[in-house]
Structure 1
């Protein structure tokens, strides 16, 4: 009799163990499907993925100058960006690279910023057009266009008149950039013909909008837009491939000496960006410099 009771107890115990195991397996399956277990937290001990633009990029040129990453060595300015940095060749690639790596840091034109990444406060100031205009956010640079002395493309000249007009500067402002003051209404001649505009991938988005707006007031014109980089934009304008060059920086003395004339069409901020999963919300200018020169290797080096 005692033996039968003992066997019965063992049976119940085995059945309970099986039920518990089944419940455990169900819970594990739920976790595997993303059910109840939270994702791993962002860890500042991880290495920083440093993302920069290519040589020739006006955004890179302005970025390294504004953050002191460009230093004078034996009388020459030298870009001290770490060799560990990943190089991207356009604004769009920069955005997708940082959006796809939770430990990445990069930089883009403020007007190109979208919600796929997070813009950091720099020295306590948010990266907004209002703060650029007020001078609170100091990481800013001019957007320039350039033409070659002696070149006479009627469509290009009329398009520039539109860009610098009240209507053109309204397009600039509507797209998140700082417009020029003291503009006048557009008074164009609606010429027939074609002009080629090319250069900086940072200027390109607002230039595309300006071209669309210009075609509404002058359907006779064809404006071709080629997106490259600031240096290519200036070189191609010098050699006549472009009627109008775009640069997201000041024109260099060497470019001016080759006969280029520059005009500022807008002011733009440079947003320092991180992945949306990053817990970092703010850095100082010195911290940004330490990252891009390779002094800071992990996020803990700058946030803890």
Structure 2
């Protein structure tokens, strides 16, 4: 695997502070506003490329959907440039892009907020409606998985709730695309504990699903652990998690040991700083950025 720079929250804070000092903002007398005007954005600047850590389901889906992985000697190789800075969660990705005028990154559509700007890809906006209509093609499944011989009755009942009308309404209300054919929840108040863990992209909607389930079954103790998709699958295989979460399809070796269920469909939003005057990129342009073929904004924004 390529060695890449890893952003921690501390490093990110230092970066933002350095930018503020470098721009003379600490001495400004503009009523505390340190936001650059949109007109000052300069496309000749280098692109700050942000990606997720190895094991992230969002990264795995992103490089697959944009053709950033290539087949070499029978194996798929991630061609993300060594210059990419690595963030370890959705929240760090969002905060880092919000603090760097020349950055580009990607997050789960359901996690998107107004601190950053989502780009159109090939002319289509990143919305649930466009994903349903097949216009926005950068989407992936949200999976949960259990051991094929799983006997935890609380886990089984919780999955029934997730896939019910009530659970799928929570999925829809939080900006994701629900599965078709859901029926009303008809579970029973089983008691005990279930551990759910994995993808940081699935985690926000899973937290809402757990809240909904506890409202109908107060006897259940559902614990959520946020890690990444690969950890979600391996920890379910070894028994640390009862239910694993993955924001990608299961790999062959995982699928051989686990039973998966698609609980929602999610888009991946390509995000930039709000000062960036770019509103749209093609899928090919995104690929040239992430493979390092384009290093400044004016190489992709004409």
Superposition TM-score, scaled by structure 1 size: 0.88
Structure 1: gaps (5+ residues):
1-30
CA separation in 2, counterparts of 1:163 and 1:228?
20
Report matched runs for 1:1-304 at 5 Å.
32-34=28-30, 39=37, 41-257=40-256, 259-304=257-302
Hey, which of these two has a bigger chunk of helix by percent? Answer: 1
Give the drift of 1:59: 0.2
Q: CA RMSD in A?
A: 1.2
Q: Secondary structure at the match of 1:241?
A: coil
CA separation in 1, counterparts of 2:30 and 2:41?
17
Give the drift of 1:32: 4.6
CA separation in 2, counterparts of 1:74 and 1:43?
41
Structure 2: gaps (5+ residues):
1-26
User: Which contiguous aligned blocks of 4+ residues in structure 1 show a shift greater than 2 angstroms?
Assistant: none
Q: Secondary structure at the match of 2:40?
A: coil
Query: After superposition, what is the alpha-carbon deviation per residue over 1:243-275, rounded to whole angstroms, capped at 9, x for unaligned?
Result: 000000000101122x20110000000000000
Query: After superposition, what is the alpha-carbon deviation per residue over 1:55-84, rounded to whole angstroms, capped at 9, x for unaligned?
Result: 000000000000000111121100000000
CA separation in 2, counterparts of 1:184 and 1:34?
56
Structure of greater Rg: 1
Aligned residues: 271
